[in-house]
């Protein structure tokens, strides 16, 4: 993320940071070494328990933030925006994190509660600028990133199931690649699943999305096995993360019922590593709707809610991947499976 030099930049950046245009929300952005770190959005605080602001602030401390940007998107029927921002700022002050900017947004207008200059920050606020032509938007589009969704519901709809997920022939094809929990040839099927993941990622990288239906069904079916799923969790790197993210997001939308949870969890992990916390949580919603109590989804939910830095999560995943590879392939790994 580029450096934010004005309230206009901050207002333009937040939808990109969280993936959609927020409403009735409190957004907190961490600053590290004068650059933007993680962004957190919570529902606008209403009767929150004592210590909740300190818990929110602790996530920035864990992210090693030196400063913070606060934005309160105040509901139309509330008049406590300044109080919410002051309570958040006080919690940050208690752990020595400076508040670099604090904006209150309501009724299509914004103002900084830190600025006392009525010339630039009048009491009635300034009109919220359009973000489409902003410097932030241009930089994101040039970098190949999508424009943010209009709202949270639009983001949720973008990862919902497609009609093909319920077609009988497609479901039968996916079922044919299911890995039962107890089989004599389990290691062979696990190797087949891991190889299929790499092969399908190659198809996506080449632009052949969904053309090989059998390979696509093979990946979805084989991910029913925990070892294959854990292999998939560590298969991407910095160079191909966008390819894998595109692949998991696509597979999540076409996976039949009963096969969504592992794929949605993989998609959530990549979204979180990429700083897209809103999409990560919505993907976990899909995982738990498909398989209530799915262990990886529950683990990821705890990690995300605790505000564990994405870099730390990625480091843990990379550390575990060689062990998963060795468990599936042993010492003789085929090309593309380097430890």
Tell me which of 89 and 336 has the higher pLDDT.
89
pLDDT of residue 160: 94
pLDDT of residue 176: 96
Tell me which of 227 and 329 has the higher pLDDT.
227
- Highest mean pLDDT pick, 17-21, 299-303, 318-322: 299-303
Mean pLDDT (whole number) for 116-143: 72
* 37, two tokens: 């770190």
CA atoms within 13 Å, Cβ hemisphere of 106:
17
Q: Which residue has the tokens 């207008």?
A: 109
Reference 265, options 312, 309, 317, 315; nearest CA is: 317
Mean pLDDT (whole number) for 202-226: 93
Whole-number Å distance between alpha carbons of 310 and 303: 9
Q: If residue 259 lies in a helix (H) or strand (E), which one and from where to where?
A: none
Structure confidence at residue 330 as a pLDDT band (50, 70, 90): confident
Percentage of the chain lying above the pLDDT 70 cut: 91
Structure confidence at residue 135 as a pLDDT band (50, 70, 90): low
DSSP 20: B
Structure confidence at residue 335 as a pLDDT band (50, 70, 90): very low
Structure confidence at residue 13 as a pLDDT band (50, 70, 90): confident
Whole-number Å distance between alpha carbons of 109 and 127: 4
pLDDT of residue 256: 97
> Which backbone phi and psi does 103 adopt, to 5 degrees?
-110, 140
**Considering the chain, what is the average pLDDT of its residues?**
86
Residue 339: pLDDT above 70? no
Q: Which residues contact 167 (CB under 8 A, 6 or more apart)?
A: none
Strand order in the sheet with 109-112: 35-43, 25-32, 67-73, 98-106, 109-112, 126-127
Instruction: Give residue 144's region: left, alpha or beta (phi > 0; psi -120 to 50).
Output: left
Residue 5: pLDDT above 70? no
Q: List the single range of 15-29, 113-127, 138-152 with lowest mean pLDDT.
A: 138-152
Residue 259: pLDDT above 90? yes
pLDDT of residue 137: 62
Residue 80 class from Cβ within 10 Å (0-12 exposed, 13-18 middle, 19+ buried)?
A: middle
Q: Which domains does the chain have, with CATH numbers?
A: 7-151 (3.40.140), 163-329 (no CATH)
* 252, two tokens: 């999540």
Reference 3, options 28, 33, 27, 26; nearest CA is: 33
pLDDT of residue 338: 46
> Which backbone phi and psi does 69 adopt, to 5 degrees?
-120, 130
From the CB of residue 253, how many other CB atoms can be counted at a distance below 10 Å?
19
pLDDT of residue 207: 86
Which residues is 104 bridged to in the sheet? 72, 111
> Which backbone phi and psi does 89 adopt, to 5 degrees?
-65, -40
Tell me which of 329 and 294 has the higher pLDDT.
294
Mean pLDDT (whole number) for 2-11: 72
pLDDT tens digits, one per residue of 237-251: 888 888 999 999 999
Mean pLDDT (whole number) for 293-302: 93
Tell me which of 162 and 157 has the higher pLDDT.
162
Which residues is 32 bridged to in the sheet? 35
pLDDT of residue 46: 85
Whole-number Å distance between alpha carbons of 333 and 217: 24
pLDDT of residue 71: 95
Tell me which of 333 and 176 has the higher pLDDT.
176
């Amino acid at each position: 993320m580029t450096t934010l030099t004005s309230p206009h930049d901050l207002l333009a950046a937040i939808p990109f940071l969280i993936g959609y245009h927020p409403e009735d929300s409190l957004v907190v952005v961490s600053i590290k070494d004068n650059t933007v770190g993680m962004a957190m959005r919570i529902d606008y605080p209403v009767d929150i328990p004592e210590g909740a602001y300190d818990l929110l602030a602790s996530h920035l401390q864990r992210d090693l933030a030196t400063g913070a940007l606060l934005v309160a998107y105040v509901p139309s029927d509330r008049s406590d925006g300044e109080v919410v921002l002051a309570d958040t700022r006080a919690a940050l002050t208690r752990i020595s994190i400076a508040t670099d900017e604090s904006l209150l947004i309501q009724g299509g207008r914004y103002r900084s509660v830190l600025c006392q200059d009525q010339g630039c920050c009048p009491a009635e606020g300034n009109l919220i600028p359009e973000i489409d032509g902003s410097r932030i938007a241009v930089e994101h589009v040039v970098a190949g990133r999508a424009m943010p969704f209009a709202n949270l519901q639009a983001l949720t709809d973008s990862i919902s199931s497609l009609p093909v997920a319920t077609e009988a022939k497609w479901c039968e094809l996916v079922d044919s690649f299911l890995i039962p929990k107890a089989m004599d040839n389990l290691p062979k099927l696990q190797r087949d699943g891991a190889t299929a993941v790499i092969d399908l990622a190659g198809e996506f990288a080449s632009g052949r999305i969904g053309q090989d239906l059998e390979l696509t069904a093979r990946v979805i079916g084989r991910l029913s096995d925990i070892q294959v799923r854990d292999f998939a969790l560590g298969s991407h790197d910095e160079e191909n993360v966008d390819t894998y993210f595109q692949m998991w997001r696509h597979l999540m939308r076409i996976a039949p019922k009963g096969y969504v949870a592992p794929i949605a969890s993989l998609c959530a992990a990549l979204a979180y590593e990429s700083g897209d916390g809103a999409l990560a949580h919505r993907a976990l919603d899909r995982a738990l709707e498909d398989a209530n109590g799915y262990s990886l989804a529950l683990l990821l939910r705890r990690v995300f809610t605790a505000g564990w830095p994405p870099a730390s999560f990625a480091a843990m995943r990379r550390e575990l991947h060689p062990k998963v590879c060795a468990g599936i392939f042993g010492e003789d790994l085929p090309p593309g499976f380097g430890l």
